[in-house]
Structure 1
Amino acid sequence: MTDQAPTIPSPSSVYLHDASIHILSSTLTSLTPFSSIPELDQALFKSPPADSYILTTDRTIFYPQGGGQPADTGTIRDPERSSFVVSLVRSSVTKPTRILHLGTFPLATPSFQPSSPLIQEIDAAKRALHSRWHTAGHILALAAHQILPSAGLIDGKASHVPGSANVEFKGTIPSEYKSAIEARANELGTKDTAVYIHWWNVETMREKCQGGCEGLEDMLAGNRADGDTSGLLRAVEIEGVGSYPCGGTHLPRTSDVGRIEIRKIARKSGICRVSYAVF
């Protein structure tokens, strides 16, 4: 379920509103050799192939790397079947509302023309994998709060990269609670609970979100600088369990996540890192 208020921002970022869309028609807005884009944007990409281009469109289903979640990959093609293979996607530093698709034309020289109609297709299996791990991270964090309601845990950074995923908290999670938190996370998952996306103002965010609300005003200020005057921010809700500010992609129901396993609980300098895996 997605809120349908007409003031929802970023209609061009389709992945924010419907993560189930894997194929999308769009229009080319720019195609630039990688070496010709601003240096600040070049720094987002590590050692791209020499024949790489940056492509932008009027709207996109490609999730850009960020928020602890890897970027989507896939293809963008024109009606003549000339194909652009997307290997990494990032949000521009110089123009934050622009989504930069890094890729190459493996079989031919670039043939896309300005305003050309294009068909985007993401790697659906990779999107589902990333959504599973990201949703699992939220479930695990909420489980930790449920098992230790009086511990004063404050949510910190998170990485949802398969194979190295973790959620961090300010505060202490004693190692003897590892099994209980893992069991609660899997209990929440097997309940087949709905996962909703909302667009809320700052006051609602602070009222309904379990954590992660530090810096919301700075996020709004950045949005306004980019032309978004809606005053709304995106949140993910595990129905009846809790919510977090989040711009990532998620599964529609917790039962789709699979089994969550806590690999390790590590503590350093007042930060508790809970590493996890999904099976």
Structure 2
Amino acid sequence: MTLLYRDEPYDRTAEAVVVESDPGGIRLDRTIFYPSGGGQPGDTGALRWDGGEIRIMDTRKGADLVQVGPDVIHVPAEGAALPPPGTKVTLELDWERRHRHMRMHTTLHLLCAVVPGAVTGGQVGADKSRLDFDVPTGSLDKEEIEEKVNSLIEGDHPVVERVITDEELAATPDLVRTMSVKPPTGSGMVRLLNIGPSDMPIDLQPCGGTHVARTGEIGGVQIVKIENKGRQNRRIVLALRD
């Protein structure tokens, strides 16, 4: 399966051919739908074909999906008529939801640039998102963090992907900020998200999610709350201002 969202995250529609189809999920030869992973929810939308259409309620990685594999399952609405294998379909994303996920996911990277400490967990949402940090000492200032994140957003910094080898990642372990999720290795190459200049990035770490092209596209955000989730664990919850 060709994962179109990796290189074209702004594509809202695409053409594909059904490979397998059953009530548990639909497999296509290519897709723009992002499968749930790395804290980002799976995409929703619709498949349309000559004589029919179906709602896609979720997108997930297949049960036999290895970390570098391309198996993606499009979960159909319960009881809906399914397109048989070989059917040519048009994929249509719920774009507003996806775009909010892109804005949120990019914001969480900026949060990583502002808050010290390893990331112990996180979740992207269309309305609210969060990151949990291992903060050994001191307290976190809600207003200060919000001001710094919004300043980075207003800087309208470029957001681009880079690729390094498994060996390069192993040689630079500081690139990995997350304690709960390990970056996918084994294919020989690892995708990095780079925010800001390549020679002096604001944030640089492995990530396979979808993001906006520039930080200015995020718009303003607010830090909703900071919670204590253990002796050293702090949860930061944020929301888009619109």
TM-score using structure 2 length: 0.85
1:81, distance to aligned residue in structure 2 (A): 4.2
Give yes or no for the alignment of 1:201 onto 2:174. no
Aligned to 1:141: 112
Q: How does 1:90-239 map to 2 (within 5 A)?
A: 90-96=60-66, 97-104=70-77, 109-110=81-82, 112-145=83-116, 153-172=117-136, 174-175=138-139, 177-205=141-169, 206=172, 209=175, 211-212=177-178, 216=182, 219-221=184-186, 229=187, 231-239=188-196
The answer to whether structure 1 residue 262 and structure 2 residue 223 are counterparts is yes
* Offset of residue 264 of structure 1: 1.8
Taking structure 1 as the reference length, what is the TM-score of the superposition?
0.75
Instruction: Write out per-residue CA displacement over residues 204-255 of structure 1, whole angstroms, 9 at most, x where no aligned residue.
Output: 44377362388758x324xxxxxxx4x1112211113121211111111100
Question: 1:164: Cα distance to partner?
Answer: 3.9
Between structure 1 and structure 2, the one with the greater Rg is: 1
Letter in 2 for 1:177: D
Measured on the aligned residues, the alpha-carbon RMSD in Å equals 2.4
- Aligned-partner residue type, residue 122 of structure 1: L
Gaps of 5+ in 2: none
Instruction: State the distance in 2 between where 1:215 and 1:88 align.
Output: 21
Q: Tell me, in whole angstroms, the C-alpha distance in 1 between the residues paired with 2:91 and 2:103.
A: 22
Higher helix proportion: 1
Helix, strand or coil at the partner of 2:185: helix
Please tell me the residue identity of whatever aligns with 2:223. Answer: I
Matched AA of 1:98? D
Q: How many residues align?
A: 231
**Structure-2 separation of matches of 1:264 and 1:175:** 13
Provide the C-alpha distance between the structure 2 equivalents of 1:254 and 1:173, rounded to a whole number of angstroms. Answer: 30
1:176–1:92 CA distance, 2 compared to 1 (3 A): closer
**Quick one: which amino acid aligns to residue 74 of structure 2?**
H
For 1:29, which of 16, 19, 35 is the aligned residue? 19
* Distance in 1 between residues matched to 2:128 and 2:162, nearest whole Å: 28
Contact kept? 1:130, 1:161, Cα under 8 Å: yes
Deviation at 1:105, TM superposition (A): 8.1
Aligned to 2:204: 243
State the identity %: 25
Superposed displacement of residue 139, structure 1: 0.9
Tell me the SS of whatever aligns to 1:220: coil
| Partner deviation per Cα, 1:154-178 (whole Å, 9 max, x = no partner) | 2222111134421111124744522
How many Å separate the matches in 2 of 1:179 and 1:173?
A: 18
| Structure with a larger share of its residues in strand | 2
- Alpha-carbon separation, structure 2, partners of 1:26 and 1:86: 14
SS at match of 1:188: helix
Look up the equivalent residue of 1:209 and give its one-letter code. L
Q: Please state how far the C-alpha of 1:194 moved relative to its aligned partner.
A: 0.6
